[in-house]
Amino acid sequence: MKSIRYDQDADGVVTLTFDEPNSPVNVMSAAWQASFNEAVDRLDAGKDSIRGVILASAKTTFFAGADLKAVMALEEADAAQAFREIEAVKARFRKLDRLGKPVVAALNGTALGGGFEIALAAHHRIAVDDPGIQLGFPEVTLGLLPGAGGVTKMVRLLGLEAAFPYLVEGKLFGVREAAKLGLVHELVLTPEGLRARAREWIAANPSPVQPWDDPKHRIPGGTPSTPRIAQMLAVAPAALVEKTRHNYPAPEAIMACMAEGAAVDYDTAMRIESRHLARLMVGQNARNMIKAFFFDMNAVKSGASRPKGPAKWRATRVGILGAGMMGSGIAWANATRRVPCVLKDIDLARAQKGRDYTARLLAKRVQQGRMTESEAEATLALVTPAAANADLAGCDLVIEAVFENRELKAQVTREVEPLLAPDGIFASNTSTLPITSLARASARPERFVGLHFFSPVDKMRLVEIIRGRETSDETLARAYDYVLQIGKLPIVVNDSRGFFTSRVFGTFVMEGVAMLEEGIPAAAVENAGRQAGMPVGPLAVVDETSLSLAVHVREEMRKDLEAEGKPYVVQPGEALVLRMVKEFGRPGRAGGGGFYDYPQGAPKSLWPGLKQFEKPDVAWDVQELKDRLLYRQAIETARCLQEGVLASVHDANIGSIFGIGFPAWTGGALQFINSEGPAKFVARADALAAKHGPRFAVPEIVRAKAAAGELFT
């Protein structure tokens, strides 16, 4: 057996130790499945000499789950084979159920997805009492479902209602929560205590029975025919669709699997589960989400875009210039990751107000039971409000987060940069202004970099790192390390106007405004955005970011292009944005209203004045509106890759999802092109360009992929 060690001691206790060769974690690879089949068959054949079985791991984690590379290789024609392979794994789990001997899972570390399903195959589960251990089923976030028994067993152990967040939402949990739920039966203090306690339990329980094999067992809370459960199941699908818009088949399949499986016997429920999983495994949605949320995400976290030469680095003291919403959020991000920071503004009152933002967020955590009062006080103490530049002396990183104005940014750069530690770096939190031009105010442009945080910082995970023309590898590497240090996701882009995220984000909102300008009803525009999978419609987004800011950015761009002797081309929708601000006095949400009204104490609603832009004779189609919003962003993303603004596919996909809100079901903007098929994408984009203009012109890099039959990888 290549992936499992089989050891039987003198007392007849067999330990199956999972130890995938040449891998830091255990996965359900083909080799593991073959080894597991052999091990279970050997247990069955020799059960007369066996007293019990311990399932253990030689890795620091217990088991990582399915082999996702194998899933990525599946096509629709492989569904039947996938079903048979799922059933084969379950058949071995069933053999353990009916072995007639006690089976104990010794959880020394994290067990997710298929890893926790292996644990559920045991009669008894013991875990180390370590808050760092995670358990549960994240499959829904990858477009899959827990199909090796996870759905069926969780429903039978917890009940339909209680299992819902752990299955449909993919909520993970620690060992103490697992113990409260009864999913883990015992906790021990150290990994060394696992096997000794497992042997004691085996000795005391020679003939255990799984709950689902006990004739007296009933599903907690009742079956789908129970009135209370029936009432829940009547409304739950509609609530789910409100969130998924039918773009995510996995949560809908999980809910169906839960309800269908709870109405039949255990073995039938397991087959139903296998069928649902097989269908998801061969679907495009799973490939998209696995590509983004496993492979691309791991590339980002492992530093695939980080320069390889410089040594790893940690910031020890960070200065933040500007205590507005962005600067206050950056201070919060530092403090909650135990990085001391100085929050500086023009006077102490403003700096203190910025610090109060962290205090309010910490108070919420205390109220929610996520933090103690003393922990909150210690965290808040890491944020020092300041009004004097001298208080920034010795910082090894300073981030300016002042207003988007070149002169102001240049002024604070010249004032503060000399106060940095000898090898310190300076960063600008700008969303649009080119870093190379901002670095002209720096005496050390090689130590100048862009760090574009997203608002609100406490919720948005992405940070866009912008490399200026003179930014050194060491500075870029330090910026990358710092972003990971504060728990954010770094992507690296090269310098250009709007960089990547702001540039592509602008295409989304302006396409929505262009639709409105064409006479399409605002409600249709907003609904198309949501149905496509964007978090909110384009008009709502531009309200939040500010129409007046959009006007300001366009004016700055116009000036810069004129200074460079280049023409400024007015894009569809710009004239309407200008009218909203100048003519109608509607600058956005912060200014009292924009495309939406914001009545106090009531939900926002579209401004009735938008009716004046509607043209009853304009024909429109929801699918085309959705295509325009998604294709426009994907085209601009591909253009960024072609121009060298982006250097990698993983940065494009992760950046588009976490920075722009590009629909997660697509796997990101470039994976969207892959999933459509480059040839089909080109044909559709050409049709949109013919109808709506050159902004839908396909970059040559996409045409080349289509001609070669290749994907973006």
Catalytic residues: 452
DSSP 24: S
β-strands 448-453, 52-57 pairing: unpaired
Phi first, then psi, for residue 370 (nearest 5°) are -90, -5
> Distance between CA 147 and CA 113 in Å, rounded?
9
Q: What is the separation of C-alpha 8 from the centre of its chain, rounded to a whole number of angstroms?
A: 43
Contact 170, 138 (CB under 8 A): yes
DSSP 381: T
Nearest 10 degrees: CA dihedral of 309, 311, 316, 320?
0
Listed in sequence order, the residues at least 6 apart from 594 whose beta carbon sits closer than 8 Å to its beta carbon are 539, 542, 543, 546, 547, 580, 586, 587, 588, 607
Q: What are 477's two structure tokens?
A: 């590497």
> Distance between CA 653 and CA 671 in Å, rounded?
7
> Distance between CA 569 and CA 489 in Å, rounded?
34
DSSP 621: -
> Distance between CA 151 and CA 609 in Å, rounded?
50
Per the listing, tokens 């094999």 go with 213
> Distance between CA 211 and CA 209 in Å, rounded?
6
Contacts 24+ apart (CB under 8 A), 20-24: 20/59, 24/59, 24/60
Listed in sequence order, the residues at least 6 apart from 569 whose beta carbon sits closer than 8 Å to its beta carbon are none
Per the listing, tokens 């994290």 go with 110
The string over 307-334, giving b where at least 16 C-beta atoms fall within 10 Å of a residue's C-beta and e elsewhere, is beebeebebebbbbbbbbebbbbbbbbb
> Distance between CA 179 and CA 200 in Å, rounded?
19
Contact 167, 146 (CB under 8 A): yes
Closest CA to 114 of 163, 153, 73, 148: 148
Cross-strand pairs, 319: 342, 398
Closest CA to 188 of 101, 118, 108, 272: 108
Q: Using CA of residue 57, residue 58, residue 62, residue 66, what is the dihedral sign?
A: negative
Give the full edge-to-edge strand order of the sheet including 186-188.
Answer: 4-8, 13-18, 52-57, 103-107, 124-128, 186-188
